C-alpha cells in the first residue's frame, strides 16, 4: 500500500546550475483563454488588446509566463483549435500588430509568452485542405490522411473521433474518406508526408521569429497515425474510464493503439527541438493523452533532444482521491525518473477544479487555497488556468446558451467545456463584472461576480491574495522550484512529501479531508514551520504535524 512506505524510486536531478539557469524549470505558467479573459471593444468576446490591458494584473500574481490559447484565423468551430491560417490573428482577437504589442508589453513586465501550436490538424477551411479534397492528383493531394473505403463502402477501419462517432468523413470528389480525430471540420494532416512535416516546422518558426518564448503543443502525440490503418482493439467495459472521456462516449470503448502516439513521432519531436534550440531561451511543452501516458511523457521528453516538458491528464480527472494522487506521483518517479513534469489541475477542457475536486464539509475558499498550494508545491513546472487564483467554480450553462460542439453533441449526460470557459470577473461594480461593455459570449454568473478581482484585491484572506503569497513563497524556496521530491507515508486524505535541493529539506503536507489529522514525521526528524500568509496552516509538534481541515504545512525538516 502507498501509505505504508515512502517513495522508493530515485528522482535524478540535473546539475543544480543547469536547473537554475533554465527559466522554465520550476516556472509558474498562467494560462489565458483569450476569448474569456478581457474584451476591449465591447463585442462580448475577449481579445488581445483586452489581454494587454490586464498584463499588470498577471504580473502582480508573480508568475513567470503566460500561455495564450489559440488566437489564429479560424472559423471557430472549435474556438480556435481549428486553424485556417497559422500565420495570422483572427479579427475577433485583433491583429498581428496587437500580438507584437502583447509580446513587447509582456516582456517589459518580465513575463514570457508561450503560444499554442495546433500541429496535428487544421480547419477544413484551410487552403491546403480545400485543395487536397478536390482530387487525388493535386499538389496537396497527400497533405491529409486519405483512405479508400472498405469493400462494403464503410470507413477503412474502426477509429473513432474524440467528439463522438467515426473518425472518418466521406469526400465524394475524391471517392475517399479523410481522418479527423476531433471534429469533422478538423481534418488530420499527414505527417508521413515529409512536405507536411517540413511545412509545420516553418509555421512554428514564423512565431519564433516574432519573439515567442515557447510553444504549448496541442495534442502533439496525434500527429502520426499507423500507416497500415490497423483497427484498434476493443477495451473491456470495466476499463472504459478516465482520460477525460465520459462513459457515454464510444471513444472510451477502444485501446487507442494505432490512431495516435506512433513511434515516428519521436523523430519529428527531435526536429522540432532542433528548430527551437536555434532560438535561445525558448521551450516546448507537450499535451499528451494516450493509453500509457507515463511512458509517453518519458519518451517525448527524453534527454535534451526532445520536448523540454510535457503534461498528461492524470490530475485532470473528474474525482479527487489522495490514493490516486500518491499513485500518480509514485508511478512517475519509478517509470520516468528523469522526466521534468508540468502539472495542471485545470484548463479550458475540463470542469473547474474548485468544483471537480470539491470536498463535502470543506469551505470552498479554504479548498481553493489548498488546491493552489498543492499545485505550486509539486516537483516540476506548474500551469494555473485563469480564474483558479480566484477560486472560480464550474458554471452550469443552460442548454440554449451552450457554444461547445462537444457539449452540444453529448448533452445532457456531458455538458461540454463551456462551464470552465465563462468570462473572468474583474469588477463587481460594473456590468458583466467588467469583462465587456456588451453581451458576453458565455454567461457570467452572479456568484462569479462575488469573486471578482476588485473584491479579492482588498481582502487579505482572499483566494487571490493567498495565491500571490504562495507564488512568492515558491520563489523564495529553492527546494520548491528545483528540488527533488520524496513521497512520505501519510494518513487517509493527506498527501505529504519532502522537497530537497542544495541541502534544503522542505516538508510539504496537505490535508484534503474535512477532519483534523496528524501526520507522523520520519524517524529522528523534526519540523520547523514556515509562515505562509492567508492559508490554514498546520503546527509541528513532537514527532508529528497537526493539520486542520483543508490545511497545509510547510516546514524545514531537520535531524534530531
pLDDT in tens, 283-296: 999 999 999 999 99
- pLDDT in the model for residue 3: 34
Q: DSSP assignment, residue 270?
A: H
Residues noted as catalytic: 218, 287
Coil vs helix vs strand at 321 = coil
- Nearest-angstrom CA–CA distance, 470 and 374: 10
What pLDDT, on a 0 to 100 scale, did the predictor assign at position 523? 85
Helix, strand, or coil (residue 171): strand
Start-to-end C-alpha separation, the chain: 28
φ, ψ for residue 486 (rounded to 5)? -125, 115
Whether residue 412 is preceded by a cis peptide bond, meaning omega within 30 degrees of 0, is yes
Joined together, the cell numbers standing for residue 222 give 496525434
* Grid-cell match 483572427, residue found: 90
Output the pLDDT for position 10: 41
Q: Which fold has domain 24-123+192-471?
A: TIM Barrel (3.20.20)
Grid coordinates in use for 302?
A: 527524453
The full set of domain ranges for the chain reads 24-123+192-471
Q: What is the SS3 assignment for 399?
A: helix
Between CA 177 and CA 168 the distance in angstroms is 6
> How high is the pLDDT of residue 25?
96
| Residue 16: predicted pLDDT | 59
Q: CA–CA separation, 499 vs 556, rounded Å?
A: 10
- The packing angle between helices 293-300 and 322-335, to 10°, is 40
List of the chain residues with pLDDT < 70:
1-18, 241-247
Cell of 196: 507536411
d(CA 65, CA 107): 9
Mean of the per-residue pLDDT values of the chain? 94
- pLDDT score, position 6: 38
| Residue 547 near residue 539 (C-beta atoms within 8 A) | no
Amino acid at each position: 500500500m502507498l501509505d505504508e512506505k515512502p517513495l522508493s524510486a530515485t528522482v535524478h536531478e540535473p546539475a543544480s546550475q543547469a536547473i537554475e539557469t533554465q527559466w522554465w524549470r520550476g516556472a509558474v505558467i498562467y494560462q489565458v483563454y483569450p476569448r474569456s479573459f478581457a474584451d476591449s471593444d465591447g463585442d462580448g468576446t475577449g481579445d488581445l488588446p483586452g489581454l494587454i490591458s490586464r498584463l499588470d494584473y498577471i504580473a502582480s500574481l508573480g508568475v513567470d509566463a503566460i500561455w495564450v490559447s489559440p488566437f489564429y484565423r479560424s472559423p471557430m468551430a472549435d474556438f480556435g483549435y481549428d486553424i485556417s491560417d497559422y500565420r495570422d490573428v483572427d479579427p475577433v482577437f485583433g491583429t498581428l500588430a496587437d500580438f507584437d504589442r502583447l509580446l513587447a508589453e509582456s516582456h517589459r513586465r518580465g513575463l514570457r509568452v508561450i503560444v499554442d501550436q495546433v500541429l496535428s490538424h487544421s480547419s477544413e477551411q484551410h487552403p491546403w485542405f480545400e485543395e487536397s479534397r478536390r482530387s487525388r492528383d493535386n499538389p496537396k493531394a497527400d497533405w491529409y490522411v486519405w483512405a479508400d473505403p472498405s469493400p462494403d463502402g464503410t470507413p477503412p477501419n474502426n477509429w473513432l473521433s474524440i467528439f463522438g462517432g467515426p473518425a472518418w468523413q466521406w469526400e465524394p470528389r475524391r471517392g475517399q474518406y479523410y481522418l479527423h480525430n476531433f471534429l469533422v471540420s478538423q481534418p488530420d494532416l499527414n505527417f508521413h508526408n515529409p512536405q507536411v512535416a517540413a511545412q509545420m516546422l516553418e509555421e512554428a518558426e514564423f512565431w519564433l521569429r516574432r519573439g515567442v518564448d515557447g510553444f504549448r503543443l496541442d495534442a502533439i502525440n496525434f500527429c502520426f497515425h499507423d500507416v497500415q490503418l490497423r483497427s484498434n482493439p476493443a477495451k473491456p467495459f470495466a476499463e472504459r474510464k478516465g482520460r477525460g472521456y465520459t462513459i457515454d462516449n464510444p471513444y472510451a470503448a477502444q485501446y487507442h493503439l494505432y490512431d495516435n502516439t506512433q513511434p515516428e513521432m519521436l523523430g519529428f519531436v527531435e526536429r522540432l527541438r532542433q528548430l527551437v534550440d536555434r532560438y535561445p531561451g525558448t521551450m516546448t511543452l507537450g499535451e499528451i493523452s494516450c493509453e500509457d501516458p507515463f511512458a509517453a511523457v518519458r519518451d517525448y521528453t527524453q534527454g535534451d533532444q526532445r520536448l523540454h516538458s510535457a503534461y498528461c491528464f492524470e490530475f485532470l480527472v473528474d474525482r479527487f482521491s489522495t490514493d490516486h494522487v500518491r499513485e500518480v506521483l509514485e508511478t512517475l518517479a519509478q517509470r520516468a525518473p528523469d522526466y521534468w513534469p508540468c502539472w495542471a489541475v485545470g484548463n479550458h477542457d475540463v470542469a473547474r477544479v474548485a468544483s471537480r475536486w470539491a470536498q463535502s464539509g470543506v469551505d470552498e475558499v479554504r479548498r481553493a487555497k489548498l488546491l493552489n498550494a498543492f499545485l505550486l508545491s509539486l516537483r516540476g513546472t506548474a500551469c494555473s488556468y485563469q480564474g483558479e487564483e480566484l477560486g472560480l467554480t464550474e458554471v452550469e450553462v443552460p442548454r440554449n446558451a451552450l457554444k461547445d460542439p462537444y457539449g452540444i453533441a453529448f448533452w445532457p449526460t456531458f455538458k461540454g467545456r463551456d462551464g470552465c470557459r465563462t468570462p473572468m470577473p474583474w469588477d463587481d461594480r460594473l456590468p458583466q463584472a467588467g469583462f465587456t461593455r456588451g453581451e458576453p459570449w458565455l454567461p457570467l454568473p452572479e456568484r462569479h461576480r462575488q469573486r471578482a478581482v476588485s473584491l479579492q484585491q482588498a481582502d487579505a484572506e482572499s483566494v487571490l491574495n493567498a495565491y500571490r503569497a504562495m507564488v512568492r513563497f515558491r520563489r523564495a524556496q529553492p527546494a520548491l522550484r528545483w528540488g527533488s521530491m520524496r513521497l512520505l507515508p501519510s494518513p487517509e486524505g493527506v498527501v505529504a512529501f519532502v522537497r530537497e535541493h542544495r541541502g534544503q529539506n522542505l516538508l510539504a503536507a496537505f490535508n484534503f479531508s474535512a477532519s483534523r489529522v496528524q501526520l507522523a514525521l520520519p524517524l529522528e526528524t523534526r519540523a520547523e514551520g514556515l509562515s505562509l500568509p492567508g492559508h490554514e496552516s498546520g503546527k509541528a509538534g513532537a514527532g508529528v504535524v497537526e493539520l486542520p481541515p483543508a490545511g497545509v504545512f510547510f516546514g524545514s525538516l531537520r535531524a534530531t
